[in-house]
Each structure stands twice: as C-alpha cells, then as structure tokens.
C-alpha cells in the first residue's frame, strides 16, 4: 500500500478534528483511498495545550519549516486563519511542491489569484471545500455536480454566528444586543464579532462561490453588504406577521443581458426577509445552507453544519482523500480557477445598483406627528418606488416605527430614497432596509 505523508499547519478547533480523523480513522481513510495516509507533523505556536488527543512524540512543533523542508510530505493541510503570515506560509509550501488543503476563506477571497497561479506554475493543487459552508459540500456541488448548468442564482446562509443570533431573536422575541451577549457566552460568537455580524465573513465566502459559479474575479470588499446589528425585535414582529423569517443572506443572481449583451451579476450580503415554507427559511441556529438555481437542475438546496470541529474536519479530510486519489488534481486542472489567462467572466459583469431589482422592507423610526407618512411617501414616489403596504405602529412614545414594504424597484432607487429619508427632520435614526426573498 502506497504511503502518503500529510502535514497540518494550525492545531486549533478544526485542526484538532482533522488530526482525530487522520490519526484515529486510518483504516476508514485507507479503504477510501487505497493508500496509507499518514499525518506526520503538526505545526502550531501553542505546543502545550491539551486538545484531547494523544499525539506521537515529536509530531507537534512550532516550526512550520519542519513540514516545508520535509520532501516526503506531499499534502499540507493549512488551517490558520489570517492573510498575513498565512499567505507567506502557503506560498512557501506551494513553492516547495506541496499540495494544499485549506479552510482559509479570507486568504482565497483576497489572494486567490496569487495562490492559484503559484500552484499552477508549480504543478500542485489547492482544495478548499471547508472554506465555505463548513461540512456542506457546496464547492464540489457547484464545481462538479452542477457542471452541466449555467448557475442562475445562489442564496445562502454562510455565517453560523449571524444565523444563531437571528434565530434566537426570532424565537425569543429579544433584541440584538442581549442576544449577541448570550451567543458570546455560549461560544457561538467571538469576543470581537465584527467580521461575522458586519457581514465580512459572509462576503468573503460569497466572493469564492461567485468565482466558482460565475467566473467573476473581484475584491470581496467590493460586495455591498449590510450587517445584522440594525435588525431589531420590531423587525421580527413584522416579519412574523407577514409570514417571513429574517436571515443574513449572501445573494448572487444572474441578470440576463439582451441577446449579445453581457449578463450582469448582482452580489450582495444583507439581512433578508425569507418567506416561510421555503427550505432556507427553516434553517435555524448555527446551521448554514445554500440554495442554488441552475438552468438545468432548477432549484437545489444544501444544508449542514457551517462550522465546528468535526463537521468542518469532515470537509477538510474529504479534500485530503480527493487529493490522495487524484480527483482534486483533475478538478484543479479543468476549472482554471483564478486564472487570468482563462478568464471565465468574459460574458458577465457586476451589476450596478440601478440594474438590481427587488422588493424591500424599510423600517424608519419617525417622530409621532401628523404628516410624517406623507413626507416619506413623497420621497418614495419621487424615486419611482411604489409602496406595497405601510404600517405605523402605535407605541405610546415620541418615536415610532414606520414599516414600508415596497413593490419591485431597483437597488439604486431604494438607496437614493433612503438617503433622502435619513435627511428628514422627522426621522430619528437611520432607516433599516431588508431585501424580500420568496
């Protein structure tokens, strides 16, 4: 039986899960690969903490060069999470001829082109199933299983922290701040939750999915995003009344161009009202889910744990297995990801706000006096936005929520209107906007 040696960089939560699978399930992995896959070296700055797994003497080190300089290690699983030294280490590993398996979405979303071009030059592969959606095999689904399709849209819940907070707010009728605190106490949110709750983590994952599904190369920072901090208990009350849940959705949607013209691609990350009864509305807690529409497969939907030790390790080790048996190599060679010389985005470009259409929910905190509704309605009317329904809640206070559901309009029009609304004297805090889906 052929021996394949694997090195692991990063011995945190996911790294521990990967080590458990590679060390404790050797027989299972041998059955799937026909090879003796040996984890021989683990690198982490912290070499003393107990991770609940017994390692052979000398396996754990704080010096990544012990992997880099071992020519027998052909696969490196890199599970450290930033874009600084992590980028340097990955490029060095590639330069040393190692095949890469990684879960580092920030690195791919930011330096995908540099990393993939380096790997192509060196003749090694990069696998990254665990970078998006944890245990959900969404990268394989879009790259391989749906390869016969032109992808029309992706609507996805990609951040377990946000979904946990929003689900709890919905279930308990609570507001954002105390729910975040509770999520932090339970370990579902970081001490500094900004990357999650502001939507950056979701935008990075969406940038990766969009590159695979549509070929677009873009800086994830250019994806318009709203976070979940402004969602309130009031919004959930209305959502429920109207038959919706609220989810932070990553949205990528192809807008067909006229014959001969480029298609446009709408990308956004924003709190979205999702109609009850659709599969994505039933996704609660720390689960992730991806809804994909293809022109042949029609609606398909994938759901699972988006984070956590073993679910993410499941995706990482699937990549290790695929790399060992050679599937990764084929997919890497045929997909030409992040390859400026094989530009797959020639017939698609990012949509401008004026080209993106949708229905919107607005909540505006306004002064409780005569004429306020008329002032807002006037702004919307001038922007060409038709109001579907409008409710002003009576709460016996000076400032009351005014809820507006629009008919179909454009992102450009709604943005312009919100700017104007925020200028009004009667408006007491910035208007909260959500997309409506389904």
Active site residues per annotation: 205
Nearest-approach distance from CB 276 to its own copies, in angstroms = 9
DSSP H helix total and E strand total for the chain: 15, 17
Other Cβ atoms less than 10 A from the Cβ of 91: the count is 17
Q: How many other CB atoms sit within 10 Å of the CB of residue 252?
A: 23
Q: Write out the binding residues for its own copies, residues 316-345 only, by CB under 8 A.
A: 316-318, 320-322, 325-327, 330-331, 333-334, 344
Q: Which is nearer to its own copies, 32 or 87 (CB)?
A: 32
- Binding residue for its own copies, selected from 298, 354, 378, 430, defined by CB under 8 A: 298
Query: CA-CA distance, 345 to 431, in Å (whole number)?
Result: 35
Q: Are 156 and 210 in contact (CB under 8 A)?
A: no
Q: Give min distance, CB of 255 to its own copies, in A.
A: 19
Measured in whole angstroms, the distance separating CA 352 from the mean position of its chain's CA atoms is 22
User: Which part of the chain contacts its own copies (CB under 8 A), choosing from 22-30, 217-225, 404-412, 413-421?
Assistant: 22-30
Tokens of 352: 């401008």
- One of 117, 242, 262, 297 touching its own copies (CB under 8 A): 297
How far is the C-alpha of 33 from the C-alpha of 54, rounded, in Å?
Answer: 24
> H or E element: which one contains 127?
strand 126-127
Q: From the list 148, 191, 258, 370, which residue makes contact with its own copies (rule: CB under 8 A)?
A: 148
Longest Cα pair distance anywhere in the chain, in angstroms?
A: 82
Q: How far is the CB of 21 from its own copies (least distance, A)?
A: 5
When binding is defined by CB under 8 A, the residue of 81, 224, 279, 388 that contacts its own copies is 279
Interface with its own copies includes 260 (CB under 8 A)?
A: no
Considering the complex, what minimum distance in angstroms separates the CB of residue 292 from its own copies? 9
The one among 147, 186, 241, 395 contacting its own copies by CB under 8 A: 147
The piece of 114-122, 175-183, 263-271, 272-280 that touches its own copies (CB under 8 A) is 272-280
Torsion of CA 374, 380, 382, 385, to 10 degrees: -140
Q: Does 274 bind its own copies (CB under 8 A)?
A: no
Buried b (16+ CB within 10 A) or exposed e, 384-420: ebeeeeeebeeeeeeebbbbbbbeebbbbbbbbbbeb
304 binds its own copies (CB under 8 A): yes
Find the part of the chain contacting its own copies (CB under 8 A) among 101-109, 138-146, 206-214, 415-423: 138-146
232 binds its own copies (CB under 8 A): no
Place of tokens 């990766």: 208
Q: Give Cβ neighbours of residue 13 (< 8 Å, ≥ 6 apart).
A: 308, 309, 312
Q: Is 255 in the site for its own copies (CB under 8 A)?
A: no
313 touches its own copies (CB under 8 A) = yes
Q: How far apart are CA 185 and CA 48, in angstroms?
A: 25
Residue 3 CB, nearest approach to its own copies (Å): 16
Which residue from 38, 74, 184, 300 is in contact with its own copies, where contact means CB under 8 A? 300
**CB within 8 Å of 172: residues ≥ 6 apart:** 179
Question: Rule CB under 8 A: which residues touch its own copies?
Answer: 17, 21, 25, 28-29, 31-34, 129, 135-137, 140-141, 144-150, 277-279, 282-283, 294-305, 308, 310-311, 313-318, 320-322, 325-327, 330-331, 333-334, 344
């Amino acid at each position: 039986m052929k021996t394949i040696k694997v090195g692991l960089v990063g011995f945190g939560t996911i790294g521990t899960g990967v080590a458990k699978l590679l060390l404790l399930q050797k027989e299972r992995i041998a059955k799937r690969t026909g090879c003796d896959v040996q984890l021989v070296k683990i690198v982490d700055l912290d070499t003393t903490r107990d991770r609940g797994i017994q390692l052979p003497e000398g396996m754990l080190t704080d010096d990544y060069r012990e992997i880099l300089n071992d020519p027998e290690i052909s696969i490196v699983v890199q599970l450290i999470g930033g874009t600084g030294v992590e980028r340097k280490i990955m490029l060095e590993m590639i330069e040393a001829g190692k095949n890469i398996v990684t879960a580092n979405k920030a690195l791919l979303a930011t330096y995908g082109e540099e990393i993939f071009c380096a790997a192509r030059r060196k003749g090694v592969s990069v696998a990254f199933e665990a970078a998006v959606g944890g245990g959900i095999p969404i990268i394989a689904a879009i790259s391989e299983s749906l390869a016969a399709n032109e992808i029309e849209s992706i609507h996805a819940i990609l951040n377990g922290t946000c979904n946990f907070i929003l689900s709890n707010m919905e279930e308990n009728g609570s507001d954002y701040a105390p729910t975040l605190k509770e999520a932090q106490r339970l370990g579902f949110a970081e001490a500094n939750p900004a990357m999650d709750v502001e939507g950056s983590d979701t935008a990075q994952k969406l940038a990766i999915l969009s590159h695979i599904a549509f070929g677009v190369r873009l800086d994830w920072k250019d994806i318009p995003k709203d976070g979940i901090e402004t969602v309130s208990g009031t919004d959930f009350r209305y959502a429920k009344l109207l038959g919706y849940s609220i989810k932070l959705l990553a949205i990528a949607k192809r807008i067909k161009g006229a014959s001969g013209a480029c298609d446009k691609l709408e990308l956004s990350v924003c709190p979205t009202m999702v109609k009850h009864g659709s599969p994505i509305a039933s996704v609660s807690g720390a689960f992730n889910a991806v809804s994909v529409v293809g022109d042949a497969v029609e609606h398909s939907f994938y759901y699972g744990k988006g984070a956590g030790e073993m679910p993410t390790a499941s995706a990482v080790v699937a990549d290790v297995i695929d790399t060992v048996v050679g599937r990764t190599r084929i997919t890497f060679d045929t997909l030409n990801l992040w390859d400026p010389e094989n530009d797959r985005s020639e017939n698609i470009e990012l949509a401008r706000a004026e080209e993106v259409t949708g229905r919107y929910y607005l909540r505006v905190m306004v002064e409780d006096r005569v004429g306020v509704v008329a002032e807002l309605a006037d702004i919307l009317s001038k922007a060409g936005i038709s109001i579907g329904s409008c409710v002003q809640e009576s709460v016996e206070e000076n400032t009351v929520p005014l809820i507006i559901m629009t008919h179909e309009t454009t992102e450009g029009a709604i943005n312009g209107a919100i700017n104007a609304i925020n200028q009004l004297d009667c408006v007491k805090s910035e208007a909260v906007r959500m997309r409506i889906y389904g």
